Amino acid sequence: MKRSLIADSLLPIYDKVAAGVRISEADAVTLYGSRDLHALGAMANLVRERKNGNRASYLLNRYINYSNICLLKCQFCAYRASRRDPHAFEMGIPEIVEAVRDSLGQGITEIHMVGGLHPSLDADWYLQLLRELKALDPKLHLKCFTAIEIQHLSQRVFKKPLEETLTILREAGLDSLTGGGAEIFDAGVRDQLCRGKESAEEWLHIHRTWHQMGGRSTCTMLFGHIETHEQRVDHLRHLRELQDETGGFTGFVPFAFSPDQTPLAHLRPAGGLETLRNLAVSRIYLDNVDHITAYWISMGLPLAQVALNFGVDDLHGTIMEEKVFHMAGVQTPQQQTVAALESVIREAGREPIQRDSHYEPVSVR
Ligand code: SF4
């Protein structure tokens, strides 16, 4: 997009982005308020192509949601259950191992495993699970647990300090942490949406500690509920600051809130334009995070394809079986094939590439 086509109000920000200069929080709020989606896309593409060229990646992964039984009751969560609820479920270790063994035959390189804060699974259960999964294939990357699960394991299950808990989990096979549970960092929003969940400071402390141990993780944002643009920018600021400090985030994965089946069902979900706007602003603002992922589970593959020209350079993975968003009524498929992911990438004019859990290219395992 030519500079002459950019609205005057966005030109100072466009010039910063074109020159590779970091934008401010005020700039990001201005971008969120802009209706000129094409200009946002053009700016986001400048950053995207500077960092990743024409490449668009995907991952061969399988999700494991081992249980939805959870001690907390986050308002936005349609997934959680109490033990006696009809929709409560809990997978046994043999069942999980069998599911992963099956998926290994399909070439997966990563297991992405999260669950609720289970009231009675003990330390041995978690350690045995990690060890048995690792024994299936030592090269299989185990990306497991949100920050709140790690806090639960540390405080209630292992009853050990955070770093010691992470060390024990790593020795059993944990390779990286998921970015879930960040939601929106603002304390007022968290108080309304997920009272009792870890605070922003605790989420950041868990990821900082993991990064300082040499670990990597992704980071996320749950948007499109009660948050303001300023609160989104505040969330991104925390992530950018921690990334400046540790460099441990591999990619950023925003999810649009899905209100069906939750106490917040009266809220209108973010539409396609808002989802693209959020991806584009995130790409521009998070200048120190290399990769931005379009999460097709929440936004659908057609919109994720469009996002490849709004700052996104990654379409996440094959996933194979997802429960968290689908229990909230999301109608997207449960899985994607490599052929489908490569096809939408090519159709968008990008070059498909299979990646590993750290967004590095893989060809043949
Ligand atoms: S979001 Fe996670 S911690 Fe909150 S209720 Fe759902 S499963 Fe539990």
pLDDT tens digit sequence for 125-165 = 999 999 999 999 999 999 999 999 999 999 999 999 999 99
Rounded to the nearest whole angstrom, what is the distance from the C-alpha of residue 313 to the centroid of ligand 1?
Answer: 29
**Which residue is closest in CA terms to ligand 1's atom 2?**
116
Nearest-angstrom CA–CA distance, 330 and 280? 23
User: What is the per-residue pLDDT for 322?
Assistant: 74
| Residue from 189, 203, 67, 223 nearest 148 by CA | 203
Would you list the DSSP string of 76-112? T-SS-B-TTSTT--B--HHHHHHHHHHHHTTT--EEE
Rounded to the nearest whole angstrom, what is the distance from the C-alpha of residue 148 to the centroid of ligand 1?
Answer: 8
pLDDT tens digit sequence for 165-198 = 999 999 999 999 999 999 999 999 999 999 989 9
Atom of ligand 1 nearest to the CA of 116: 7
Nearest-angstrom CA–CA distance, 132 and 158? 19
pLDDT tens digit sequence for 100-131 = 999 999 999 999 999 999 999 999 999 999 99
Domains of the chain (ranges plus CATH)?
Answer: 55-355 (3.20.20.70)
User: What is the per-residue pLDDT for 363?
Assistant: 67
Nearest-angstrom CA–CA distance, 266 and 252? 28
User: What is the per-residue pLDDT for 332?
Assistant: 77
DSSP 6: S
Rounded to the nearest whole angstrom, what is the distance from the C-alpha of residue 237 to the centroid of ligand 1?
Answer: 24
Rounded to the nearest whole angstrom, what is the distance from the C-alpha of residue 147 to the centroid of ligand 1?
Answer: 11
State the pairing for strand pair 110-114/141-144.
parallel
| Residue from 304, 340, 322, 71 nearest 178 by CA | 322
The token pair that represents 177 in the structure block: 């942490």
Residue 123 has phi, psi (to 5 degrees) of -60, -40
Structural Rg of the chain based on CA atoms: 20
Rounded to the nearest whole angstrom, what is the distance from the C-alpha of residue 239 to the centroid of ligand 1?
Answer: 21
Torsion angle in degrees (nearest 10) through CA of 61, 321, 294, 343: 70
The residue behind tokens 């052929």 is 339
**Which residue is closest in CA terms to ligand 1's atom 7?**
116
Residues with CB under 6 A from ligand 1: 70, 72-74, 77, 79-80, 116-117, 148, 194, 197
User: What is the per-residue pLDDT for 365?
Assistant: 44
Instruction: Give, for ligand 1, the residue of 83, 113, 197 to mutate: max count of ligand atoms closer than 8 Å to Cβ.
Output: 197
Per-residue model confidence as pLDDT tens for the chain (365 residues) = 888 889 889 999 999 999 999 999 999 999 999 999 999 999 999 999 999 999 999 999 999 999 999 999 999 999 999 999 999 999 999 999 999 999 999 999 999 999 999 999 999 999 999 999 999 999 999 999 999 999 999 999 999 999 999 999 999 999 999 999 999 999 999 999 999 899 999 999 999 999 999 999 999 999 999 999 999 999 999 999 999 999 999 999 999 998 888 889 999 989 999 999 999 999 999 999 999 999 998 999 999 999 999 999 999 999 887 777 777 777 777 788 999 999 999 999 999 999 999 999 996 54
